[in-house]
Amino acid sequence: MLEKHAAPDGLILIARRNCALSPRQLGGVFVALVMLSLAIATFCVWLGAWVVLPWAALEISAVGVAFLVWGRHANDGERIRVSRARVEVETHRASRVGRHEFNPQWLQLVTEPVRLPGASHRLLLRSEGREVEVGRYLDEAGRVRLAKELRAALAQMRESSEDSF
C-alpha cells in the first residue's frame, strides 16, 4: 500500500505491506483458536482420548509461533520524505529501524531487474556510493506508482532549489 502526504517543505511517501489484520486483531483470532482447540481437546479427554490434549497444546504452540513471526513484520515498510534540503528514507523491519539520508541533487532512482519468478524489478535510491532499496513491500503496480511519485518529487525539488539561486 502506498500513501502520499504533503509536508510543509516537500512530500512524504509511505510504502508498506497490505495487512488484512492488525497485530491486535491477530491476537484476538489467536485467543479464539486457543479456546476452540482447548474446548475440543477437553471434550476428547472427557471421552477418554487423553492424548489429544498434548497434541492440541503442540498445535496451538506452533500457530502461536507463526502468529508471532507474522505479527512482528505486520508494520514493515518505508517512509520516504523528499524535501529541497534532503531525502530521508526510514526503513522498518520487525523491530529494526534504518535511517538513510541523501542529497536530492545527486540522488538517482534506479530500476534494477530481478531474476526471481514472480518479480520483475526493484527500486534503488543511489547516491555517493550508497544505496537503499525502496518499495520492497509493494506489488508491481505499487512500485511503478512509487517510482513515478519519487521521480516527480525529485524533479520538483531540484527545480525549486535551482530557482532559489
Residue keyed to cell 498434548: 54
2-16+78-163: CATH class = mainly beta
Q: Where are the alpha helices (DSSP H) in 1-139?
A: 23-46, 52-72
Q: State the Cα–Cα distance between residues 79 and 100, nearest whole angstrom.
A: 11
Predicted confidence at residue 55, as pLDDT, reads 93
Q: Over its length of 165 residues, how does the chain's per-residue pLDDT go in tens digits? A: 888 888 888 888 898 888 777 778 888 999 999 999 999 999 999 999 999 999 999 999 999 999 888 888 878 899 999 988 889 999 998 889 999 999 888 888 988 887 766 667 889 999 888 999 998 888 888 888 999 999 988 888 777 766 654
pTM score above 0.85 = no
Nearby residues of 3 by Cβ (< 8 Å), 6 or more positions away: 13, 14, 15, 16
Reading the block at residue 6, the C-alpha cell is 504533503
Residue 12, SS3 per DSSP: strand
pLDDT given at position 114: 78
